[in-house]
């Protein structure tokens, strides 16, 4: 073939594939090709997978998107026995993670985020600049293909992240184990959870794990009805302070049986609702204002939780305890 003809490979391809089809090493070193990883070539006139991520205002989403973009690029040279794992796998499953920072305390962006690649059994250890390699026993993991990428299963991903805090492990487990129950206007009713607590427990007990004690602690705190990591954090703050555990995502109706809204966390008997207010704009903000007003008109006490309040857990607990008529010091 014409060694200048690389169009047949698309925008992204491995050096190995190109060499097998007769492309010279010199052609692969030309400046019209970028080398995002050793053994990978990306046409410079193609869209950069990381180029538009700075437009994303949410740093959590920005890091998630960057990990997935990096995985897609690296997948061009992914060994047949290798798979994405740890934080990279969690992001491929669109799961919530804490922000990652550099040693200097700066938020990691784009290609600076580590890419986690694992091997099992006697497969060669994954080595390349920009990746963190891992090895595991086949009996301690499970591999799936998700969105075109070879990745650890949700349960295997969760048990691999024992270095995270208990709070972050619970939020991650809540996401993986969510059950899509019926309710007013809810979508995807009956959809299977990505993982179950039983699957996680089985993999956790299959062998030695980093952070095993923390994983076991978190496993007992995972719930199947949480819809966001912030809801999970609010619940953990309240329960950790000794308050009763609230119900999660409860549909509330007025005295005539008319639907008012779904409440993030609720104490039904005391008619106390706890709502986490994240980044909302326009119509969403207006709808939330009307919903909370309707709850109050129906006799509910509504406690609104913002990110600054969540960073003051004692004040959050004090407000909820007061609404419940409980003493808190």
Q: What is the pLDDT of residues 27-49, one digit of tens each?
A: 999 998 988 898 889 888 887 77
- Alpha-carbon radius of gyration of the chain: 24
Q: For residue 283, what is the enclosing H or E element?
A: helix 282-297
* Mean residue pLDDT across the chain: 92
104 and 124 in a single domain? The answer is yes
Residues 235-240: what's their mean pLDDT? 98
- Concatenate the DSSP letters of all residues of 85-154 into one string: -HHHHHHHTT------B-TTSPBP-GGGS-EEEEEETTSPPP--TTEEEEEE-GGG--EEEETTEEEE-H
In a domain, 137, yes or no: yes
| Average pLDDT score over residue span 293-300 | 94
Residue 13 in any domain: the answer is: yes
Sign of the torsion formed by the C-alpha atoms of 9, 14, 20 and 22: positive
pLDDT tens column, 66-94: 999 999 999 999 999 999 999 999 999 99
Which tokens belong to 150? 């070879």
Q: Could you tell me if residue 2 is inside a domain?
A: no
- What pLDDT does 47 receive? 77
Q: Which pLDDT value is given to residue 281?
A: 47
The verdict on 80 and 137 lying in the same domain is: yes
Q: Is the pLDDT of residue 200 over 50?
A: yes
The answer to whether residue 268 sits within a structural domain is yes
pLDDT tens track for 116-133: 999 998 899 999 988 999
Q: Could you give the CA distance from residue 329 to residue 327 in angstroms, rounded to a whole number?
A: 7
Residue 256, pLDDT > 70, answer: yes
Number of domains in the chain: 4
Specify whether 269 is located in the same domain as 195.
no
Same domain, yes or no, for 319 and 258?
yes
The structure tokens listed for 157 are 């991903």
pLDDT at 167 over 50: yes
Q: Which domain holds residue 97?
A: 50-152
- Residue 1: inside a domain: no
Together in a domain, 190 and 106: no
229-240 vs 166-177: helix axis angle to the nearest 10? Answer: 130
- Indicate if 148 and 178 belong to the same structural domain: no
For 170-185, b/e burial (b = at least 16 CB within 10 A) is: bbbbbbbbbeeeeeee
pLDDT of residue 1: 45
Residues 6+ apart with CB under 8 A from 29: none
């Amino acid at each position: 073939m014409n060694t200048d003809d690389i169009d047949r490979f698309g925008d992204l391809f491995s050096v190995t594939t190109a060499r097998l089809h007769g492309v010279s090493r010199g052609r692969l070193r030309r400046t019209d090709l970028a080398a995002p990883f050793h053994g990978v070539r990306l046409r410079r006139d193609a869209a950069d997978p990381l180029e538009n991520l700075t437009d994303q205002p949410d740093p959590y989403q920005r890091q998630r998107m960057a990990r997935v973009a990096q995985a897609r690029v690296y997948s061009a040279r992914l060994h047949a026995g290798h798979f994405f794992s740890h934080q990279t796998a969690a992001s491929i499953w669109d799961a919530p993670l804490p922000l990652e920072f550099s040693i200097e305390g700066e938020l990691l962006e784009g290609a600076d985020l580590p890419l986690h690649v694992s091997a099992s059994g006697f497969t060669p250890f994954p080595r390349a600049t920009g990746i963190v390699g891992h090895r595991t026993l086949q009996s301690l993991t499970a591999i799936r293909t998700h969105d075109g990428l070879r990745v650890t299963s949700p349960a295997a991903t969760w048990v691999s992240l024992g270095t995270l805090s208990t709070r972050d492990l619970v939020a991650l487990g809540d996401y993986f184990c969510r059950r899509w129950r019926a309710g007013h206007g809810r979508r995807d009713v009956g959809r299977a959870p990505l993982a179950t607590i039983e699957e996680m427990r089985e993999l956790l007990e299959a062998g030695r794990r980093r952070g095993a004690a923390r994983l076991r602690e978190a496993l007992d705190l995972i719930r199947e009805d949480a819809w966001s990591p912030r809801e999970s954090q609010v619940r953990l703050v309240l329960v950790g302070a000794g308050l009763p555990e609230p119900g999660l995502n409860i549909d509330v109706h007025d005295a005539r049986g008319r639907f008012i809204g779904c409440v993030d966390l609720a104490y039904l008997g005391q008619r106390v609702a706890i709502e986490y207010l994240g980044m909302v704009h326009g119509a969403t903000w207006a709808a939330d204002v009307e919903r909370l007003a309707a709850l109050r008109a129906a006799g509910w006490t509504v406690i609104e939780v913002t990110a600054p309040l969540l960073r003051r857990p004692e004040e959050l607990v004090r407000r909820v305890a007061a609404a419940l008529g409980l003493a808190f010091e």
